[in-house]
């Protein structure tokens, strides 16, 4: 079979815990994924990406790995995973796995050894520092509080940029790097087709000093990060047919070009998150703010143009397991009509951009945030910490719940809604997290039936990408950047031009008169009448 052009791929992200439960214990599992591979094939995507399924105490839902080579028995067995890969391959689906090598769980053998004594050979696998009065630096954990945890027995602090049970690995230690390359090679041999590397731009730590930016400038895109990624590439996937994506926390366009320019031999592509911070107040996630639409456009376009011109490659996405549902966030889920229209509009606006599109489970049917109204409904460690912190700051309960309702990672972690039946067809038991009532009408079964559903828009967009090179290779021309409701751009390739118009508002909007929109409609959502595009309308035209 001829090798496919990886740049034309579309990826479907699976959060196994919330995908499909076959045991009745309320959590999804590997067999559950196997059961639904036909559905994923029906969507038309090329890759699936599984968030971590390794052995883990699950304090951060698997991003705290205690054994890189074992499958978490809550998800199934190694055999199940083998079957999943071979069944996926039968359906022409590739499998990308999530590797978390910035940190391990404190339950990992390496860490357990490291805290035995100061001279244990594994001590230097992590960052341990002595300190007389309080933590060695003012660095903050991304999940709240200081990033150093005191270990009483050995009287030193260890670094954890995330949860206290996620200790950062010391990539400056060659033995650590080699051990991690062995892990990656193990999974390559096992048969996976690609990797998503968790927070991979944080692996090189730089100096350990206090800083007004609570440490970020020392460890974000740190001093040796490119060298280490190049080395990783050369020691593992570099000469194989594999797609890789690095998750980049607070990075820059310049760095992302370096991470992904093929001649540098680092990664295939990157995720960055700047466009998903446009509803933060002064950079603060735990705030209640409206979407800054002009800012959203500016960031998306700066990255599109910057990466295109620099010869890099981006992942494009609205959703993942850390982000609220986009239809509730940048669209409107307050009426059924608006939900459907805005979900389709958002899909079109994104899927016509350059890069590798990622669809997060349930996004393709326009799943919404669950709109929880009690802290008891939240499960995520970050959300629970944020709740405590906001309480300490003196905020009242209802304001905190509003903020969590807008920002919590649990918004996207409720189980995929398969049917209108009991527990949305996800489990025969009690789901580990509540399922919204709207599963009665927002579910996969109904979406497949209804030929005008959000799902069919996604299928069409995937098909279009595979068919038209302009979507993959065209340049990008931002238009009307100051327009307060319309997101518009053109793609140009090989003498062809496509115009993309997306109306982000719930009102009909007059289209600019001086724009040429004569041509063939490629895909359309809503209507254009008397020069006005309908609420949340979107259109792509191959213009003459
Ligand atoms: O996330 C890294 C990350 O920095 C964020 O997306 C983070 O979850 C968010 O900023 C919190 O506000 C990755 C994983 O996607 C996430 O699920 C893990 O919790 C995290 O790394 C630690 O491994």
Catalytic choice (60, 64, 198, 369) = 198
For residues 168 and 98, what is the distance between their CA atoms, to the nearest angstrom?
17
CA of 270 to the centre of ligand 1 (A): 14
Q: Indicate yes or no: pTM above 0.85.
A: yes
Query: Checking DSSP bridges between strand 47-50 and strand 94-99, what pairing results, if any?
Result: parallel
Environment class of residue 379 by beta-carbon count within 10 Å: exposed (0-12), middle (13-18) or buried (19+)?
A: middle
- Told to judge if 336 belongs to the known catalytic residues of this protein, a careful annotator would answer no
Which stretch of DSSP H or E encloses residue 176?
helix 174-190
Q: pLDDT tens for residues 490-528?
A: 999 999 999 999 999 999 999 999 999 999 999 999 999
pLDDT of residue 2: 55
Tell me which residue of 293, 289, 331, 298 sits closest to 484, measured CA to CA. 293
pLDDT of residue 1: 45
Tokens, residue 210 = 């206090």
Q: pLDDT tens for residues 156-175?
A: 999 999 999 999 999 999 99
CA of 106 to the centre of ligand 1 (A): 17
Q: Which of 66, 105, 142 maximizes ligand 1 atoms within 8 Å of its Cβ, making it the mutation to test the pocket? A: 142
Q: Which of 145, 162, 270 maximizes ligand 1 atoms within 8 Å of its Cβ, making it the mutation to test the pocket? A: 162
Cβ contact 95:83 at 8 Å: no
CA of 120 to the centre of ligand 1 (A): 30
Residues lower than pLDDT 70 in the chain: 1-3
- Told to judge if 247 belongs to the known catalytic residues of this protein, a careful annotator would answer yes
pLDDT of residue 312: 98
For residues 135 and 215, what is the distance between their CA atoms, to the nearest angstrom?
13
Residues touching ligand 1 (Cβ under 6 Å) are 60, 63, 100, 142, 162, 198-199, 247, 249, 285, 321-322, 382
Q: Which of 166, 198, 215 maximizes ligand 1 atoms within 8 Å of its Cβ, making it the mutation to test the pocket? A: 198
> Strand (E) positions, 33-171?
47-50, 54-55, 67-71, 94-99, 103-105, 128-129, 148-151, 156-159, 166-168
Environment class of residue 268 by beta-carbon count within 10 Å: exposed (0-12), middle (13-18) or buried (19+)?
A: buried
**Residue 492's CB: how many other CB atoms inside 10 A?**
14
For residue 75, the SS3 value is coil
For residue 184, the SS3 value is helix
- Compute the half-sphere exposure of residue 453: CA atoms within 13 Å on the CB side of its CA: 20
Catalytic choice (221, 231, 247, 380) = 247
């Amino acid at each position: 079979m001829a090798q496919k052009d990886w740049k034309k791929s579309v990826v479907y992200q699976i959060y196994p815990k919330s995908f499909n439960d076959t045991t009745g214990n309320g959590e999804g599992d590997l067999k559950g994924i196997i059961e639904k591979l036909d559905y994923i094939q029906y969507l038309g995507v090329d890759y699936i990406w599984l968030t971590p399924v390794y052995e883990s105490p699950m304090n951060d839902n698997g991003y705290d790995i205690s054994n890189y080579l074992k499958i978490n028995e809550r998800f199934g067995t190694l055999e199940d995973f083998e079957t999943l890969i071979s069944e996926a391959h039968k359906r022409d689906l590739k499998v990308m796995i999530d590797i978390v090598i910035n940190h391990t769980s404190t339950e990992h053998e390496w860490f357990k050894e490291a805290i035995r004594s100061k001279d244990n050979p594994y001590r230097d696998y992590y960052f341990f520092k002595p300190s007389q009065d309080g933590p060695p630096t003012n660095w903050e954990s991304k999940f709240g509080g200081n990033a150093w945890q005191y270990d009483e027995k050995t009287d030193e602090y260890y670094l954890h940029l995330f949860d206290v049970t996620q200790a950062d690995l010391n990539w400056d230690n060659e033995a650590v790097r080699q051990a991690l390359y062995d892990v990656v090679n193990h999974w390559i041999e096992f048969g996976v087709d690609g990797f998503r590397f968790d927070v991979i731009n944080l692996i090189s730590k730089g100096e350990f000093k206090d800083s007004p930016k609570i440490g970020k400038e020392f460890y974000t895109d740190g001093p040796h990060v490119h060298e280490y990624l190049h080395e990783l590439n050369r020691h593992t996937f570099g000469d194989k047919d594999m797609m890789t994506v690095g998750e980049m926390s607070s990075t820059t366009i310049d760095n992302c070009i370096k991470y992904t320019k093929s001649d540098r031999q680092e990664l295939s592509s990157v995720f960055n998150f700047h466009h998903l911070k446009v509803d933060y107040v002064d950079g603060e996630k735990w705030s209640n703010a409206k979407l800054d639409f002009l800012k959203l456009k500016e960031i998306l376009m700066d990255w599109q143009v910057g990466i295109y011109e620099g010869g890099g490659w981006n992942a494009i996405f609205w959703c993942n397991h850390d982000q609220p549902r986009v239809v509730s966030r940048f669209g409107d889920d307050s009426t059924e009509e608006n939900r459907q229209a805005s979900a389709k509009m958002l899909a079109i606006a994104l899927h016509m951009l350059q890069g590798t599109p990622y669809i997060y489970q349930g996004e393709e049917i326009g799943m919404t945030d669950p709109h929880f109204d009690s802290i008891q409904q939240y499960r995520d460690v970050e959300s629970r910490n944020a709740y405590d912190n906001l309480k300490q700051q003196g905020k009242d309960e209802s304001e905190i719940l509003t903020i969590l309702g807008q920002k919590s990672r649990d918004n996207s972690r409720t189980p995929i809604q398969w049917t209108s039946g009991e527990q949305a067809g996800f489990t025969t038991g009690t789901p580990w997290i509540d399922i919204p009532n709207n599963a009665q009408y927002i579910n996969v079964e109904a979406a497949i039936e209804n030929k005008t559903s959000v799902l069919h828009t996604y299928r069409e967009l995937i098909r279009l990408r595979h068919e038209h090179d302009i979507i993959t290779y065209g340049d990008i021309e931002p238009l009307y950047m100051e327009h307060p409701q319309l997101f518009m751009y053109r793609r140009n390739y090989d003498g062809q031009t496509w115009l993309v118009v997306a109306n982000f508002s719930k009102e009909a909007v007059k289209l600019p008169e001086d724009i040429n929109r004569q041509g063939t409609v490629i895909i359309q959502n809503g209507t254009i009448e008397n020069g006005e595009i309908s609420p949340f309308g979107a259109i792509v035209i191959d213009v003459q």
